[in-house]
Structure 1
Amino acid sequence: MKRRIVTAIDVGTTKICTSIAEITENGSAQVIGVGISPSHGLHKGLVVNISDAAQSIKDSITKAEQAANYKVESAYVGVTGRHVSSVNNKGVIAITRNDRLVRSDDLKRVLSNAQSIKVPNDRKLLHVIPRNYAVDGQVGVRNPVGMHGFRLDVETHVITAAAASVQNLIKCIRSLGVEIDDLVLEPLASSEAVLTEDEKQVGVVLADIGGGTTDICVFKDGAIWHTAILPVAGYQLTRDVAIGLGLPFDVAEEMKKRYGSVMPIYESRMEANPISEDGHGISYQDLCDILRARIEEITRLILLELPRSDYESVVPAGIVFTGGSSNIAGLETLGRDITQLPIRVGMPSNIYGITDALRDPAYATSVGLLLWGAKNQPKTRWGKLGFFNRVKGMLSKFFN
């Protein structure tokens, strides 16, 4: 049997992570290569310098290829940024066959009907995700195939992105000779790696606090309910520390990672002593106060994304924080104090192989992209394959 290899590229504001996994027969992902490089030419999830961004992505891919001893030809790529927007939309079709049985073709037709919303020329359709189906008015159907009915309804979550931003990202990756299997909204990918099915069923918020953006997904009744991208994240935390304490940015970043806490009351042992890094001395209390204020703001912005103020009934499973900035000490305690909801930090799971580098909330999107690729077949709409590649694909299918 031909082995199936999936590559994921998480193009972040602070780092690029390329991971390569072999998909086993039972559908699990076995990581065989990881390449991490600093990110240049990106700001808040957007490409601002194509040549710098392409070079950063290339460095990351090269490291992963060397680790896996495998040449990357195509990849699943994460997308984020303020330009992403979402809307819930409905579709409806009639079942016209004599036997009135719903078939998989009908699912395609009703989803096509649901995505027939007017998408402006400057927007690209990223995802049309079915939330639930209804057959002859019977709502809450998860899979209507095989059911009898005259009418099939679907409610979908439609995600679009700015065409120019998407094209710039595509251009960076394709300039390296890598095709795009699919573009995946980053919080959707992260949810694959850190959320449980139970949490998605009862209602949960995923908040991925990255370098440039905080990506939010709300799940309810096992399906996606709402998505949003906030333009505040780890970069703002470091910038606040740098400005507030008069530090160079890289020193502020190191201080944040090494000493930062948002619940310093529990760590009073260091309170009286100044801390220093690279010749710069600051008050531990001041550092923690600055970080706490910004994390409080991000947490309240996440709550504002919920359509109703009675959070307990909408998301009883609370908030799952992930992303690099969720490593900050005291986040769970502070989150519970502010929201009165269950809070946990989500670690990537359901992955095997050389995963030590990926066992960190900072790599939730990378792992999630691999799991997304394991579950879904590649799409070719994000870039036409060259004639040679198409012929090669057809021949390989024929001989396998």
Structure 2
Amino acid sequence: MENNIAVGLDIGTTKIVAMIGRKNEYGKVEILGIGKSKSLGVHRGVVNNITQTIQSIQLAVQEAETAAAAKIEGVTVGIAGQHIRSLQHSDYITRANSDQVIDEEDIDRLINQVHKLVMLPGEEIIHVLPQEYKVDGQAEIKEPVGMYGGRLEANFHVVVGQVSSIRNVGRCIQSAGLQLEGVTLEPLASSNAVLSQEEKEAGVALIDIGGGTTDLAIFRDGIIRHTAVIPFGGNVITEDIKEGCSIIEKQAELLKIKFGSAWPGENKDNEIVSIPGLRGREPKEITLKNLSKIIHARVVEIIEQVYVEIKNYGHEEQKKKLIAGIVLTGGGAQLKHLKQLVEFITGMDTRIGYPNEHLAGNSDDEITSPLFATAVGLVMDGLKRNERKKAETIAEEIETIDEENENTEEETEAIEQPQPVKERRSFLDKLSERLKDFLDNAE
């Protein structure tokens, strides 16, 4: 596979999407191929049947390969699911030599210390995201590198998940004949695809309503401040319609998509849909008003749970206010009148998020649907990872060339001045590597 191509694999509760993309000459992401399959074996974002998940992954990947006429080897995968939780944590280190400025190594030491936090059995830290630093008690420092100080402390947003769930995802990918290139938290991936930098600065809550889970990511001052996964999504709405109208799931899903609305007042009392009965039974008649009442009740419940999380973050405090309001994405965001309902419940500005922020202008309408926000975000993440690898290889090559050309000291000094900036490796890269090692040794 070419170096500048990346593949995102979104393993959802209702669908699995494989998306192949590359950067065009304008730095935008161009989607070359997309494949999706019905997700069997995933429940509320967690794999519960390995064999079925492997088959679904293979189907999606084959479809994407055919569309893009390329071979897929490695993928960037998203993790979500009801086992994800997040917590706030503060930690500090005391520096041995306060005459020297703080460097990347000090920050790494601080972050590694957070990784030693004792978790519940079977849990592992997925992300450690520094919020703001303090140097010798001076608060609200965004970037402490280059400052003097003896005590460096920081507040962290720590995202935790179940080891076994993450490993199962890795196992499915490996068994589907693919390499795991990287792991990303799904709310982070969708927010990269959907939100603009201005929104992240102003303060925004991204709500990604999927089939089995609803993900929330809150940004303020350009930094992620809060994440949560709520174990309800579009499927529970379908389930309610199925129960409430005594019809089969397939019909309930179609009803929801075609006629569903989150606002019961919109429908007249005499609007009726007729649904064919099973095996020659009488057709059923369902009023659209009843349908939207069922949907409304469930959506209100989901939004209220999300709103509790937004309040937990502290949206009601003046300096934590989310000025850009709420952005809705994911398949569930396509429900009619959802935007109005969310504004009504939360009193916050709301828009529907389409993942066209970073996509090339000529992208297909299908791709820019909120349905594919996570997949687009994962492709972007994969492309970024490729660029990092490329930069590292170039830096290594420069070093070897320097060693080979054993110049005189003066010349060497002149060459050495512009040192390649060492990118801090995110914990997810380390997690991906550990996961690869684990899978290799587990056979």
Establish whether TM, by shorter chain, passes 0.5: yes
Map 1:274-285 onto structure 2 (within 5 A).
274-278=272-276, 279-285=283-289
Report if the CA contact (8 A) 1:42-1:53 is conserved: yes
Tell which deviates more after alignment, 167-176 or 85-94: 85-94
Q: Which of residues 322, 331, 344 in structure 2 aligns to 1:337?
A: 344
Q: Deviation string for 1:40-77 (max 9, x for gaps)?
A: 11111111111011100110011111222222221111
318, 321, 325: which is aligned to 2:328?
321
Identity of aligned residues (%): 35
Relative to structure 2, which stretch is displaced further, 117-126 or 10-19?
117-126
User: SS in structure 2 opposite 1:383?
Assistant: helix
What's 1:396 paired with?
A: none
1:351 corresponding residue in structure 2 = 359
Q: Structure 1 unaligned runs (5+)?
A: 388-400
The 5-angstrom pairing of residues 1-400 of structure 1 reads: 3-24=3-24, 28-97=28-97, 100-266=100-266, 268=268, 271-278=269-276, 279-305=283-309, 306-307=311-312, 311=316, 313=318, 314-349=321-356, 350-352=358-360, 354-376=363-385, 377=388, 379-384=432-437
Q: 1:102 to 1:56 in 2, by over 3 A?
A: same
Q: How far 1:120 sits from its partner (Å)?
A: 4.1
Distance of 2:144 and 2:313 partners within structure 1: 30
Q: Which has the larger radius of gyration?
A: 2
Deviation per residue, 1:318-343 (Å, 9 max, x gap):
22111101101101111111111111
Task: Pick closer, same or farther for the CA change 1:32–1:255 going to 2, 3 Å.
Answer: same
RMSD of the alignment, in Å? 2.3
Once the two structures are TM-superposed, the CA of residue 12 in structure 1 deviates from its matched residue by 0.4
Q: Distance in 2 between matches of 1:308 and 1:386?
A: 36
Query: What CA deviation, in whole Å up to 9, does each residue of 1:140-191 have, x standing for no partner?
Result: 2222223333332222211121112112111111102212122211111111
TM-score by length of 1: 0.89
**2:98 touches 2:150 (CA, 8 Å); kept in 1?**
no
- d(CA) in 1 for partners of 2:323 and 2:147? 32
Q: What SS does the corresponding residue of 2:312 show, helix, strand or coil?
A: coil
TM-score by length of 2: 0.81
Cα 1:23–1:309 change in 2 (3 A) is: closer
- Distance in 1 between the 2:133 and 2:26 partners? 28
Report the CA distance between 1:308 and its aligned residue.
6.3
Q: Deviations over 1:91-113 (max 9, x none)?
A: 32344457522222222222112
Q: Distance in 1 between matches of 2:224 and 2:201?
A: 10
Task: Tell me, in whole angstroms, the C-alpha distance in 2 between the residues paired with 1:209 and 1:347.
Answer: 13
How big is the shift at 1:22? 1.5
Rounded Cα–Cα distance in structure 2 between residues aligned with 1:371 and 1:138: 36
Q: One-letter code of the match for 2:350? A: I
**Structure-2 separation of matches of 1:27 and 1:333:** 35
Farther off after superposition, 140-149 or 206-215: 140-149
Is the 1:136–1:149 contact (alpha carbons within 8 Å) kept by the matching residues of 2?
Answer: yes
In terms of mean alpha carbon deviation, does 345-354 or 33-42 score higher?
A: 345-354
Specify whether residues 115 and 24 from structure 1 end up closer, same or farther in structure 2 by C-alpha distance, changes over 3 A only.
farther
CA shift for structure 1 position 385:
9.6
The CA deviation at 1:28 is 3.9
Report which stretch shifted further, 123-132 or 50-59.
Answer: 123-132
Counterpart Cα distance in 1 of 2:373 and 2:6: 16
Q: Is the 8 A contact 1:312 1:341 kept in 2?
A: no
Q: Are the counterparts in 1 of residues 267 and 288 from structure 2 also a CA contact under 8 Å?
A: no
3-state SS in 2 of match to 1:133? strand
Following superposition, the deviation at residue 355 of structure 1 comes to: 4.3
Asked whether the equivalents of residues 204 and 218 of structure 1 are also in contact (C-alpha less than 8 Å), the reply is yes
- 2:262 and 2:337 in contact (8 A); partners too: yes
Q: How far apart, in 1, do the equivalents of 2:383 and 2:146 lie?
A: 26
Deviates further, 45-54 or 274-283: 274-283
Give 1:25 shift: 7.0
Q: Please tell me the residue identity of whatever aligns with 2:185.
A: L
C-alpha contact (below 8 Å) 2:214/2:232 kept by paired residues: yes
Unaligned runs of 5+ in 2: 277-282, 389-428
Letter in 2 for 1:54: I
Distance 1:369 1:344 in 2: 22
Q: CA deviation at 1:304?
A: 1.2
